Amino acid sequence: MKILITGAAGFIGSHLVDRMLTDGHDVTAMDNLVTGTMNNISRHLSNTRFQFIHHNVSNHIHIVGKLDWVIHLASPASPVDYLDLPIETLKVNSLGTHNTLGLALAKGAKYFLASTSEVYGDPEQHPQKESYWGNVNPVGPRGVYDESKRFAEAITMAYHKKHDLDTRIIRIFNCYGPRLRANDGRVVSNFIDQALRNKPLTIYGSGSQTRSFQYVSDLVEGIVRLTGVKHHEPVNLGNPQERTVLELAELVKELTGSKSEIEFKPLPTDDPKRRLPDITKAQTLLDWTPKVEIRDGLVQTIAWYKEQLAVAK
């Protein structure tokens, strides 16, 4: 197949590029490199089945030739990024989603939207099912990401219903692995980077807030499986094992052998207290469940961070 992946130089996007090329597809990667990096995909530049286009999808998109899939991953995806880039985040998830949907419609391609568990906000339902509408503050600091992703889902469903566009929507829960930027503000990357530098591990709040962590290869497998199933409603992709942020910090300290202390800071505004996916739909529809245990995933992730630190020296 011929596949366009937006946000392809980012963390998840680059792993999906790897998988699609391994599976024998032709991949056009698109990214404006605001939060992505060419280091994630440069090894593919000599591959005749791969091309890179430097472009901001919030602007009109022109692609020559046939497309079978448009997979829209482009967006700042961490609090550090979308708080620093609020307008860009709103635009890529509204204008960018509109542009990529229009491209898919013009090309007769199928369309895949990467949404987020952030559409649930600070949830009042636990665990979160796809049928839950969420508890989101539209004017809070996180609203630029949460609400723009909710809009992206709405316009994707509108294109499906109005134009019969063959669409998919996933809601991604916390994901980690190699290529997750050290300074992007997500809890796994923060802890590993701080631990390897023997700096204090920063916990916001008491550390009793919970998250679930899926390794990136599990997420990519879920994405690939959903492309093969005709289902248009959102599907949660995440790990149904819940753990506290404090537990994660202690585990990272153990696996890195770090001497870091744990430092507590105030909880940011609208930070979710609990986040856990109900993945019944993914299990039933896709025969999918995460396979990588957190210890194994963290060991691989820590090894990648050590390599990056060695290169930086």
Q: Max Cα separation, the chain?
A: 57
Pairing of strands 243-244, 210-211: antiparallel
Displacement of CA 139 from its chain's centroid (Å): 23
Rounded alpha-carbon distances, angstroms, from residue 161 to 7, 152, 175, 177: 26, 14, 30, 36
Rounded alpha-carbon distances, angstroms, from residue 284 to 92, 233, 288: 32, 14, 8
DSSP assignment, residue 117?
G
Decide if 153 contacts 98 (C-beta within 8 A).
Answer: no
From the list 145, 159, 176, 305, the catalytic residue is 145
Distance CA 250, CA 258 (A): 10
DSSP 190-230: HHHHHHHTTPPEEEETTS--EE--EEHHHHHHHHHHHHTS-
Rounded alpha-carbon distances, angstroms, from residue 110 to 26, 117, 185, 239: 15, 23, 33, 27
Quick check: helix, strand or coil at residue 76? Answer: coil
- 132 an active-site residue? no
The beta-carbon contacts of 55-59 under 8 Å, at least 24 apart in sequence, are 55/30, 55/31, 56/32, 56/92, 56/96, 57/6, 57/30, 57/32, 57/92, 57/95, 57/96, 57/99, 57/100, 58/88, 58/91, 58/92, 58/95, 58/96, 58/99, 59/95, 59/99
Residues serving a catalytic function are 145
